[in-house]
């Protein structure tokens, strides 16, 4: 299959494994703990790879750190509460240095607490040599590499086919997901639309012991309450008109697997109590049924709304939120990790080339820089669709014009559109602009009043749910105060 390339060699991938090992040779690893046998074993294994390894007890390590010792990475081996206390002390003394923590089999509570307290990675005991080396190399490379360097570029494209990470924030999230995959507890994935919540969920499933079982996604905002209930929990024959035979729901189909509840924040209130029961004891009954069904399903929920605001507005149950939030993962928007844009472009071009273009297409440095300057309000989903259009058209001029016309800043582009309409479009152009501006502010206000519950906002505006979603994408709306929107528009217009 042909491959898509950049004209510039600035983002090419030529770094080899041997070069990586050479770059990381001499990096200082501090192994901290009380089990002398484990410390000695780790020290010998890592020293063979050219790393400088020191083994210290808790007391020795704290004294050395207070005197100015700055290692490149920590490996922490301790038991129970003492391990978390030591983790907190290390994180306080050296907040930016990665900490890899060893943990005992099936100690899921410890893993969750360690992640929340800042552990970069967790390794299960007894550890495998390859797993230990990979964890150490991954964290050292993340610290040593500059965003956009060849090493990070190559590492990002070599991992999971769907999850591409080239920023510190996303690499930390990937490490957390790999740990959480081994711990069977609910996960709540938060982030704006298009940031990759489904990709993160699939990655957790693929890395988990349930990987060979069923994975299903259900959009809780796409169906009315009665249809969603039958979709999730199934129904018995005769439960309602048209139910000519029994049908299992997604929870039954996903038994021993993973189910993703997308847009969980917009689940109808009457279904939330039934979902809470499933999370508590794994039991439910089909619609119209009398018998209880027990399943073993891992639930991963995702949403782009403010859950705390939804709880305050009494549109989402607080007890259900805490059940779903075994641990939360917040995905940053693409505008906050722009160093990933070149890597994501390369990834999407490789992924989509065979389907949307027959020959390799080169992206110039000029277009790449325009992509870097764009704010991507639709995040990675918008970027992927942009690459699809680029591959289909095979020309950079329309793509550059597209980026210039929608500068990536909704408020700035709105002000520019208004200026153009008033100066060159005449009365009709001005009217179209005024109508668009009024429509944007009305929708923003309605979404704000409803805590970004789009179904409720659509009902208030008396438009369909799909029409509202289209308008949100069209105007690049995001959960921000209207006052802030107006302020940005004023700045953009000057």
d(CA 24, CA 20): 6
Q: Which two tokens stand for residue 480?
A: 């921000």
d(CA 138, CA 153): 13
- What's the Cα-to-Cα distance from 121 to each of 24, 111, 204, rounded to whole Å? 18, 9, 15
130 CB-contact burial (10 Å; exposed 0-12 / middle 13-18 / buried 19+): exposed
More confident residue, 214 or 480: 214
More confident residue, 342 or 9: 342
Q: What are phi and psi for residue 229, nearest 5 degrees?
A: -60, -45
β-sheet bridge partners, residue 329: 189
* Cβ-defined contacts of 159-166 (< 8 Å, 24+): 160/203, 160/206, 162/199, 162/202, 162/203, 163/196, 163/199, 163/200, 163/203, 164/340, 164/343, 164/344, 164/347, 165/340, 166/339, 166/340, 166/342, 166/343, 166/344
Lowest model confidence (mean pLDDT) among 54-68, 294-308, 466-480:
466-480
**pTM reported for the whole predicted model:** 0.66
Give which of 421, 444, 443 is closest to 433, Cα–Cα: 421
Question: According to the model, what pLDDT value does residue 416 have?
Answer: 47
Give which of 265, 178, 176, 181 is closest to 215, Cα–Cα: 181
d(CA 489, CA 475): 13
Domains and CATH numbers, the chain: 9-158 (3.40.50.2300), 187-330 (3.40.50.300), 334-405 (1.10.8.60), 410-493 (1.10.10)
pLDDT surpasses 90 at 261: yes
pLDDT surpasses 60 at 492: no
pLDDT tens digit sequence for 379-430: 999 999 999 999 888 888 889 988 888 654 444 444 444 444 444 455 555 4
DSSP 97-151: S-EEEEEETT-HHHHHHHHHTT-SEEEEESPPHHHHHHHHHHHHHHHHPPTT-HH
If pLDDT is split at 50, 70 and 90, which confidence band does 262 have?
A: very high
Query: Across residues 312-331, what is the average pLDDT?
Result: 91
Question: According to the model, what pLDDT value does residue 14 have?
Answer: 37
Please provide the average confidence, as pLDDT, over all residues in the chain.
79
Give which of 217, 289, 299 is closest to 248, Cα–Cα: 289
pLDDT above 90 covers a percentage of the chain that reads 24
d(CA 307, CA 317): 10
Question: According to the model, what pLDDT value does residue 78 have?
Answer: 75
Q: Which two tokens stand for residue 267?
A: 């689940």
Mode of pairing for the β-strands spanning 293-294 and 283-284: antiparallel
Question: According to the model, what pLDDT value does residue 490 have?
Answer: 43
If pLDDT is split at 50, 70 and 90, which confidence band does 316 have?
A: very high
pLDDT tens digit sequence for 93-134: 888 888 888 877 566 678 778 887 888 888 877 777 777 887
Question: According to the model, what pLDDT value does residue 68 have?
Answer: 87
Q: Which two tokens stand for residue 361?
A: 């297409």
Question: According to the model, what pLDDT value does residue 485 have?
Answer: 41
Tracing tokens 């009315």 back to the chain, one arrives at 224
Q: Are 59 and 180 in contact (CB under 8 A)?
A: no
Q: Are 220 and 203 in contact (CB under 8 A)?
A: no
pLDDT tens digit sequence for 14-41: 344 445 555 566 788 888 887 777 788 8
If pLDDT is split at 50, 70 and 90, which confidence band does 327 have?
A: confident
């Amino acid at each position: 299959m042909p491959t898509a390339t950049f004209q510039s060699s600035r983002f090419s991938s030529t770094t080899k494994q041997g070069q990586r090992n050479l770059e990381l040779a001499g990096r200082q690893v501090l192994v901290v703990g009380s089990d002398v046998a484990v410390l000695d074993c780790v020290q010998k294994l890592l020293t063979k790879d050219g790393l400088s390894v020191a083994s210290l007890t808790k007391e020795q390590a704290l004294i050395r750190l207070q005197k100015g010792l700055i290692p490149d990475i920590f490996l922490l081996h301790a038991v129970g509460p003492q391990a978390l206390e030591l983790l907190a002390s290390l994180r306080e003394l050296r907040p930016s240095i990665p900490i890899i923590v060893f943990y005992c089999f099936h100690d899921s509570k410890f893993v969750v607490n360690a992640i929340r307290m800042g552990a970069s990675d967790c390794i299960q005991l007894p550890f495998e040599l390859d797993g230990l080396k990979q964890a150490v190399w991954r964290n050292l490379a993340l610290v040593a590499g500059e965003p956009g360097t060849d090493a990070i570029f190559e590492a990002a494209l070599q991992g999971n086919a769907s999850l591409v990470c080239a920023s510190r924030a996303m690499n930390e999230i990937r490490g957390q997901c790999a740990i959480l995959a081994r711990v069977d507890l609910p996960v709540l994935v938060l982030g704006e639309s298009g940031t990759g919540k489904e990709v993160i969920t699939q990655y957790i499933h693929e890395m988990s012991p349930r990987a060979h079982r069923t994975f299903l996604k259900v959009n809780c905002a796409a169906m009315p309450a009665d249809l969603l209930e039958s979709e999730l929990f199934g129904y018995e024959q005769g439960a309602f008109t048209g139910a000519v035979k029994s049908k299992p729901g997604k929870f039954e189909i996903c038994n021993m697997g993973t189910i993703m509840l997308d847009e969980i924040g917009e689940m109808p209130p009457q279904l939330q109590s039934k979902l809470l029961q499933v999370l508590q004891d794994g039991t439910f009954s089909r619609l119209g049924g009398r018998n209880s069904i027990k399943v073993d399903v891992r639930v991963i929920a995702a949403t782009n709304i403010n859950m705390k605001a939804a709880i305050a507005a009494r549109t989402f149950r607080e007890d259900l939120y805490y059940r779903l939030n075994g641990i939360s993962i917040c995905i940053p928007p693409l505008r906050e990790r722009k160093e990933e844009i070149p890597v994501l472009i390369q990834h999407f071009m490789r992924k989509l080339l065979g389907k949307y273009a027959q020959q390799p297409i080169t992206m110039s440095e000029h277009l790449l820089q325009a992509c870097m300057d764009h704010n991507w309000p639709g995040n990675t989903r918008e970027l992927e669709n942009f690459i699809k259009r680029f591959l289909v058209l095979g020309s950079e001029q329309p793509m550059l014009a597209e980026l210039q016309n929608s500068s990536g800043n909704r408020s700035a582009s709105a002000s520019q559109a208004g200026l153009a309409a008033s100066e060159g479009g005449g009365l009709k152009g001005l009217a179209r602009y005024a109508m668009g501006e009024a429509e944007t502010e009305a929708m923003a206000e309605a979404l704000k009043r409803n805590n970004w519950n789009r179904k409720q906002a659509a009902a208030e505006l008396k438009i369909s749910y799909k029409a509202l979603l289209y308008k949100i994408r069209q105007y690049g709306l995001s959960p921000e105060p209207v006052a802030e929107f107006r302020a940005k528009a004023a700045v953009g217009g000057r």
